[in-house]
């Protein structure tokens, strides 16, 4: 039987995965994330399949520690945390779990938008501290305003559906235009500069590529409305953190709702607390900036949980097992390259 190791294994996943693997695979569960410091045991080195979440960072150096590896079964859509080029070189397949969180992530993005525009978290914090200051919590309506959606794939499409229901005008930026979105939700496709200049709210739903790294930089923020709110549930690296901090503190935009950050693992992975030497200068700088962002009143930050609903988790696990079983039968599905 092929050996599988499930890393980043949460308690709520184990029963499902155990039942699916029983009798088909030799399997283990490891709660730790994968990174260059991880030292696999002799048993773990025999794994032909490993499965992990986005909290793991799978570099060439790490992959080399698993000489028998044939498949990385991701429990996520994103794969920018994997050295894909080395996987190609080694003939290791990398399979993801697409479309598990379309509605879940879009709903969360919209929740962030409502939270920032109606100042829900500041109002709650005020009340906990026995402060009642309605001038401090004056919000703005969404109805009849304009939202720019960057990336109109499966999640972005759901964001357009929700936005249309709230009576928002919708500008879209994508490599491919969908006639159905124009017809159903009155989406108007525009270029990036037009979206920046005309959007009251901008929500990011595009995968990270070498071409859109730091697409929201100083130049982009200069073109945005002073009243604009930026929502990011995609990837932190789409935004230059220093440029965002500057734009917020200099009131070039009015707020942000962020479920993802650059170098977010330094905030959420306890390994960095016990071994701060793992941080390079760049990640340390990003961590300081991230902590500064979280102190701003016009910013809501959550720990990469937009995907985290009961329904989405069930879809992740189901697709992961489907990918693994198909691979075991000589079939490749959802390979990312």
Contact, 169 vs 147, CB < 8 A?
yes
Convert the pLDDT of each residue in 223-254 to its tens digit.
999 999 999 999 999 999 999 999 999 999 99
For 76-104, letters b (16+ CB in 10 Å) and e give: bbbbebbbbebbeeeebbbbbbeebbbbb
Mean pLDDT over 49-61 rounds to 93
Structure tokens that stand for 309 in this block? 């609903």
SS (H, E, C) 82-124: ECHHHHHHHCCEEECCCCCCHHHHHHHHHHHHHHHHHCHHHHH
Average pLDDT, the chain: 94
Which one is catalytic: 75, 205, 235, 315? 235
Q: Hey, where are the domains in the chain?
A: 3-100+310-328, 102-301
Q: Is 57 a catalytic residue?
A: no
Q: What is the pTM of this model?
A: 0.88
How does residue 36 score in pLDDT terms, banded at 50, 70 and 90? confident
* Distance in angstroms (rounded) separating the CA atoms of residues 237 and 264: 10
Confidence of residue 273 (pLDDT cuts 50, 70, 90): low
Domains 3-100+310-328 and 102-301 share a fold: yes
Residue 150 token pair: 């960057």
Residue from 75, 81, 304, 315 carrying the catalytic annotation: 304
176: annotated active-site residue: no
Average pLDDT for 77-99: 95
Cα separation, 315 vs 309, whole angstroms: 10
Question: Pick the catalytic residue: 75, 264, 265, 315?
Answer: 264
CATH architecture of residue range(s) 3-100+310-328: 3-Layer(aba) Sandwich (3.40)
How far is Cα 92 from Cα 90, in angstroms, rounded to an integer? 5
Can you tell me the mean pLDDT for 193-212? 97
Average pLDDT over residues 283-300: 92
CA dihedral defined by 309, 310, 313, 317, rounded to 10 degrees? -170
Q: pLDDT: is 37 or 324 the higher one?
A: 324
In CATH, what class is 102-301? alpha beta
Is 205 a known active-site residue?
no
39-47, long-range: CB < 8 A, 24+ apart: 39/65, 40/65, 40/66, 44/5, 46/3, 47/3, 47/4, 47/5
């Amino acid at each position: 039987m092929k050996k599988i190791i499930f890393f980043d294994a949460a308690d709520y996943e184990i029963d499902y995965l155990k039942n699916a693997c029983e009798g088909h695979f030799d399997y283990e569960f490891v709660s730790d994330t994968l990174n260059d410091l991880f030292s696999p045991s002799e048993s773990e080195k025999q794994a032909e399949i490993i499965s992990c979440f986005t909290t793991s960072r799978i570099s060439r150096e790490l992959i080399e520690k698993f000489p028998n590896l044939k498949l990385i079964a991701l429990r996520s859509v994103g794969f920018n945390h994997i050295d894909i080029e080395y996987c190609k070189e080694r003939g290791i397949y990398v399979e993801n779990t697409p479309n598990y969180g379309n509605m879940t992530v879009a709903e969360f993005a919209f929740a962030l938008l409502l939270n920032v525009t109606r100042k829900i978290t500041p109002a709650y914090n005020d009340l906990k501290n026995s402060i009642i200051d309605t001038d401090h919590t004056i919000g703005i309506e969404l109805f009849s305003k304009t939202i720019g959606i960057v990336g109109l794939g499966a999640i972005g499409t759901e964001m357009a559906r929700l936005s249309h229901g709230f009576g928002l005008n919708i500008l879209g930026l994508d490599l491919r235009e969908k006639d159905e979105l124009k017809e159903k939700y009155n989406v108007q496709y525009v270029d990036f500069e037009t979206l920046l200049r005309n959007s009251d709210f901008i929500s990011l739903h595009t995968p990270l590529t070498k071409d859109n790294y730091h697409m929201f930089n100083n130049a982009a923020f200069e073109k945005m409305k002073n009243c604009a709110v930026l929502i990011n549930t995609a990837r932190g690296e789409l935004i230059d953190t220093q440029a965002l901090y500057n734009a917020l503190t200099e009131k070039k935009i009015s707020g942000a709702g962020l479920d993802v950050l650059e170098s977010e693992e330094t905030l959420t992975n306890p390994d960095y607390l016990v071994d701060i030497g793992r941080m390079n200068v760049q990640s340390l700088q990003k961590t300081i900036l991230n902590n500064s962002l979280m102190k701003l009143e016009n910013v809501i930050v959550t720990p990469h949980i937009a995907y985290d609903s009961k329904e989405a988790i069930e879809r992740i696990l189901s697709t992961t097992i489907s990918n693994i079983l198909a691979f075991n039968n000589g079939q490749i599905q959802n390979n990312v390259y």
